[in-house]
Amino acid sequence: MGELRLMKGNEVIAEAAIRCGCDGYFGYPITPQSEVMETLMTLRPWETTGMVVLQAESEIASIHMVYGAAGAGKRVMTSSSSPGISLMAEGISYIAGSELPCVIVNVQRGGPGLGTIQPSQADYNQATKGGGHGDYSLLVLAPASVQEMHDFVILGFELAFKFRNPVMILADGVIGQLMEKVELIDQRPRWTNEQILEISGNWATIGKPSSRKKHVITSLEMDSNMMENNNLRLQAKYTQMKDEEVRYEAIACEDADYIVVAFGSAARICQKTVQIARKKGIKVGLIRPITLFPFPEKIIAEYAAKVKGFLSVEFNAGQMVNDIRLAVNGVTKVEYFGRMGGIVPTPDEVEDALEQRFLIGDL
Amino acid sequence: MTVITGKINEIIKPENLVYAKSPLLNDVSMHYCPGCSHGVVHRLIAEVIDEMGIQEQTIGVSPVGCAVFAYNYIDIDWQEAAHGRAPAVATGIKRVMPEKYVFSYQGDGDLAAIGTAETFHAVNRGENIVMIFINNAIYGMTGGQMAPTTLVGQVTSTTPNGRNVDLNGYPLRITELIAQLPGAAFVTRQSVQTPAAVRKTKKAIRKAFEIQAQKKGTSFVEVVSTCSSGWKLSPVASNKWMEENMFPQYPLGDLKDTGRADPDLYKVKG
Amino acid sequence: MAKVRGAVVVDNEECKGCNLCVVACPTLTLALNRNVNNKGYHYSYMENPENCTGCSNCSTVCPDSCITVYRVKVEQ
């Protein structure tokens, strides 16, 4: 068993990064995730593991520093919150287009614009539909606990290198600020130059020996046929993600008449909603997508034939609900309930919404 | 070798070779317009890397703009950065591989307009990188629009009546500003229109790479350049126009050569 | 007395006829050819090869690295 600690979600991102052998973090302060860089600066990993930590002049610079360092085959990451992620959209598109591995943490706050510093899930579409220009997808992990904040940093790097694709950890202000018990992994070494050569030696820009051709990290291709091929290669990768990397948690769904679908901190609230509803004799289950891209559409489609309806519960105006509707494909009713502006609904509020949408007519 | 008659076929022999294309320049035609300064600066960088024997240790960062394809021409590893972000990309590379040589190569739009923040902050951090800045006072790649360094009265496709200060502001002497930053080790402005100027520029680039090895801070080499297509002049006339119009606004020479500043000068007292 | 003689080889197909080498040549060796290469450029060539001293000014200013320079001492 690893070391147990009581930690904040944001702090554990930093701790997990150091412990899994991350090579570099480039970031810019923004509420509610500034503790990530603050924790790193306090822990001074450059003196222990050799991990680089740099406060950039902007989120734009941070993400392009990640681009440069990821291009060197290193395990690097950044973190930000919604407005900062919008600034990074350019760089994320370039990273996806150049097929570089990295981890990007978004501890979401309410928008649009400067919005609020309170928690939100309003960047679901931005995260799962690309967010920047061009046809690309991030692999999106949605943690619902401090433990998952820890685990997904490690998993994030594994997946990023498996697919040579940016991975986003889409958290929110609740998970970022929440303190919980977490089991930490033991310190792992950073990759040696030899390991990097073995893992990424066929593409990383680490200096060109005369024995090989030069490596060029670029998303540019002027030949339309070649560019279409590049796009097809990316799409094949996203298909492979859909085949191999879908993750979700299904709670009390076997006998359910209604299934609530929620991710991140909304799923924690809905877990309580399930209990409240069941006490009232309403058979409610919960599906918690852990990967938002690839979306767990198969399991939702399977339950669509069995249940009377799905309720998508989100801290936004209804974004994931569209993906559920696509998966359900008209087989059963799909409704949405959510709050915006940084308001976190109570389990009773959600239960009430479920009754309003599905049961009023039945009574 | 000494020969008797001096006929051409006696001269053109390997043992008499005094200049040949750098082995670090790839065997492809550059896409640049005839007379473009980029070709000369590319060659100088290739020659410096070759002469220093650092091909295996050097990573270049190409910009968005005419030099976007720089990675096709010099036989080293490259990263192609988003518009203006080359200094941030170079920072990322250098920070995780401090033992490597890293340089960025940017034009005036990339470095002095869209990427101003990245430029300033990379230099202000004293990143141990080399920044090459091609200033031809115009956007070449997109078809001759106004650059931050476009001169007052200069006609471009977005200043068809000449750059007007009331409308467009002043030409930006960014290199003078860069020289003020404590992180800058070596800041110089050069050109490549004559053999003598080319040789000076090569020396400056070589010095910049050597300073990187000494970890003295950022080296910044501006090359005042021509864009005959953008300026709508012949290459020879462009050189003349540059000497008459650009040099008074962008005077050549070293602006700073002291290494980065002593941190103690900036320290809190208590 | 020894005299320095030079010669240049221009890669005709790489040359874009920018004329910078012609202007840089101190001995009036080079000129642009009346003929054009496959790209349509009047490429540079030694119009007066006997003038060349192999000073490398042409190759120094050439943006396309298409000039190779040779130099030799000639006994007279």
The per-residue pLDDT for B5 is: 63
> Is A201 near chain B, with CB under 8 Å?
no
The per-residue pLDDT for B1 is: 53
CA distance linking residue A17 with residue A51, whole number of Å: 9
Evaluate whether ipTM surpasses 0.95.
Answer: yes
Question: Would you tell me which residues 108-147 of chain A have a C-beta closer than 8 angstroms to some C-beta of chain B?
Answer: none
Nearest Cα to Cα of residue A339 among A25, A40, A42, A119: A119
Residue B84 lies in a domain: yes
Q: Which two tokens stand for residue B216?
A: 């003295």
Average pLDDT over residues B165-187: 98
Q: Which two tokens stand for residue A249?
A: 């948690």
- Residue ranges in chain C assigned as alpha helix (H): 20-24, 57-61
Provide the residue ranges of all domains of chain C, joining segments of one domain with +: 2-69
The per-residue pLDDT for A228 is: 98
Nearest chain B residue to C61, by CA: B195
Q: Residue A37 is which amino acid?
A: M
The per-residue pLDDT for A353 is: 97
CA distance linking residue B69 with residue B66, whole number of Å: 7
Which residues make beta-bridge pairs with B138?
B146
- Tell me which residue range forms the domain holding A287: 249-359
Q: Which two tokens stand for residue B230?
A: 């953008």
Task: Give the gap in angstroms from C-alpha A53 to the nearest C-alpha of chain B.
Answer: 9
Q: Residue A170 is which amino acid?
A: L
- DSSP assignment of A79-91 equals EE-HHHHHHHHHH
Residue A325 lies in a domain: yes
Look at residue A288 and tell me whether its pLDDT is greater than 60.
yes
- The set of residues, in sequence order, having a beta carbon less than 8 Å from that of B207 and lying 6+ positions away, is B186, B219
Average pLDDT over residues A210-226: 97
Q: B-chain residues within 8 Å CB-CB of A64?
A: 81-82, 85, 88-89, 92, 118
- Inter-CA distances, B95 with A23, A69, B25, B87, B209, Å: 10, 8, 27, 12, 16
Residue A107 lies in a domain: yes
Same domain, A177 and A296: no
Average pLDDT over residues B121-134: 98
Phi-psi region of C54 (alpha: psi -120 to 50; beta: other; left: phi over 0): left
Q: Which two tokens stand for residue B77?
A: 């590893």
CA distance linking residue B185 with residue B102, whole number of Å: 15
- DSSP assignment of B237-255 equals HHHHHIIIIIHHHS--EEE
The per-residue pLDDT for B4 is: 60
- DSSP assignment of A274-294 equals HHHHHHTT--EEEEEESEEES
Residue B251 lies in a domain: yes
Look at residue B6 and tell me whether its pLDDT is greater than 80.
no
Cβ atoms of A172 and A264 within 8 Å: the answer is: yes
The per-residue pLDDT for B270 is: 82
Q: Tens of pLDDT along C20-55? A: 999 999 999 999 999 999 999 999 999 999 999 999
Residue A253 lies in a domain: yes
Same domain, A116 and A47: yes
Same domain, A58 and A186: yes
Average pLDDT over residues A46-65: 98
pLDDT band at A75 (very low <50, low <70, confident <90, very high): very high
Could you identify the residue written with the tokens 């509803």?
A: A277
The per-residue pLDDT for C75 is: 77
Residue B6 lies in a domain: no
Average pLDDT over residues B190-195: 98
- Tell me which residue range forms the domain holding B98: 26-260
CATH 3.30.70.3270 at C2-69, yes or no: yes
Contact A216 B76 (CB under 8 A): no
Element (H, E) at A150: helix A146-163
Q: A-chain residues within 8 Å CB-CB of B89?
A: 64-65, 67-68, 71
The per-residue pLDDT for B20 is: 97
CATH number at residue B176: 3.40.50.970
Contact B11 C68 (CB under 8 A): no
Please tell me which chains touch B, using 3 or more CB pairs under 8 Å as the contact test.
A, C
Question: How many distinct structural domains can be found in chain B?
Answer: 1
Percent of chain A with pLDDT over 90: 98
Same domain, A253 and A331: yes
Question: How many distinct structural domains can be found in chain A?
Answer: 2
Nearest Cα to Cα of residue B135 among B97, B186, B174: B174
Pairing status of strand C44-46 against strand C30-32 = antiparallel
CATH number at residue A314: 3.40.50.920
The per-residue pLDDT for B32 is: 97
Same domain, A140 and A48: yes
Element (H, E) at B19: strand B17-19
Nearest Cα to Cα of residue B37 among C18, A345, A142: C18
Q: Tell me the three-class secondary structure of B35-49, residue by residue.
A: CCHHHHHHHHHHHHH
Q: Give the length of chain B.
A: 270
- Inter-CA distances, A159 with A131, A270, A300, B62, Å: 19, 28, 24, 28
Cis peptide before A32 (omega within 30 of 0): yes
What is the distance between the terminal CA atoms of chain A, rounded to a whole angstrom? 51
CA distance linking residue A256 with residue A250, whole number of Å: 11
Could you identify the residue written with the tokens 């860089």?
A: A37
CA distance linking residue A249 with residue A255, whole number of Å: 16
Q: How far is CA B147 from the centre of its chain?
A: 16
Nearest Cα to Cα of residue B61 among B21, B88, B26: B88
Query: Which of these three, A175, A193, A211, is where a domain ends?
Result: A193
Same domain, A44 and A175: yes
Average pLDDT over residues A27-49: 98
Residue B85 lies in a domain: yes
Residue among A58, A72, A210 whose CB faces B93 most closely: A72
Q: With 0-12 CB in 10 A as exposed, 13-18 as middle and 19+ as buried, what is A337?
A: buried
- Inter-CA distances, A355 with A54, A270, A272, A280, A281, Å: 50, 14, 15, 11, 12
Q: C-chain residues within 8 Å CB-CB of B73?
A: none
The per-residue pLDDT for A179 is: 97
